[in-house]
Amino acid sequence: MTRVRTTTNELAFPFSLRPMVKDDIDQVSTIERESFPTLWPPTSYRKEITNKIAEYIVCVCDHEYLTVTKQSNGWRRWLRKKGTLVTVKKRLVAGFLGVWYMGGEAHIVTVAVKGEFRRRGIGELLLIGSLELATARDAQVLTLEARESNNIAKALYAKYGFLEAGLRKRYYSDNHEDAVIMTTPDIKTSGFQQFISKKKKEFDLRYGTNSREYL
């Protein structure tokens, strides 16, 4: 992984968060398929990014691009009379997260990191993003469900103050596994806000500073 030093000589984390846009959907859907192979039907992100009660963010790589060849349309086709294929450079999406807001609660409906980018802090950065979004939206708590066997995800949430609050029996239709409900304490309290500030400082020290362009 390339690490870049910023002008202030701090280590820069070469990933940033921003809202998910239509152009990200192909990459997000591929990560979803790879991360949740039994999920059916797949999520319609085209619908979800226009869902008024939802918010989706992606973590993009600052220095890696994906070159995609696609069918040109409209003015592009008119400009390039030679052919109908154009090459587009897209930011590489390393992970994504979605939140639904319902009655004072921010519910994390999905979070996943592309296989080869795991264990580099991207899951953490996405979770920090969701906590910042939920605070900006004036939510009181963040909640989510995780498979009981998903110890990796449970460890990530526990690190950010989520506590196990109960079980949804046989919640997952593919294998009837139970879901563990995890929830934060009241995120508006100064105690929790101090805890999150400390976590963010620890993150920056370990991985470097990063840009978050979604608030």
Ligand X SMILES: CC(C)(COP(=O)(O)OP(=O)(O)OC[C@H]1O[C@@H](n2cnc3c(N)ncnc32)[C@H](O)[C@@H]1OP(=O)(O)O)[C@@H](O)C(=O)NCCC(=O)NCCS
If one asks whether residue 79 binds ligand X (CB under 6 A), the answer comes out as no
Q: Is residue 177 annotated as part of the catalytic site, yes or no? A: no
If one asks whether residue 123 binds ligand X (CB under 6 A), the answer comes out as yes
Q: Is residue 124 annotated as part of the catalytic site, yes or no? A: no
CA 130, CA 135: separation in Å to the nearest integer?
8
Binding piece for ligand X, criterion CB under 6 A, among 45-53, 75-83, 113-121, 162-170: 113-121
Residues 1, 79, 88, 152: which binds ligand X (CB under 6 A)? 152
CA 41, CA 29: separation in Å to the nearest integer?
12
CB atoms within 10 A of CB 77: 14
Residues 82, 119, 169, 176: which binds ligand X (CB under 6 A)? 119
Residues 112, 131, 134, 141: which binds ligand X (CB under 6 A)? 112
* CA contacts within 13 A on the Cβ side of 166: 4
Rounded (10°) CA dihedral 115, 120, 122, 128: 150
C-alpha radius of gyration, the chain, whole number: 19
Point out the catalytic residue in the list 32, 55, 145, 207.
145
Query: Which distant-in-sequence residues (6+ apart) come within 8 Å of 75 by Cβ?
Result: none
Residues 35, 43, 72, 135: which binds ligand X (CB under 6 A)? 35
Q: Which residues bind ligand X (CB under 6 A)?
A: 35, 111-113, 118-124, 146, 150, 152-153, 155-156, 159
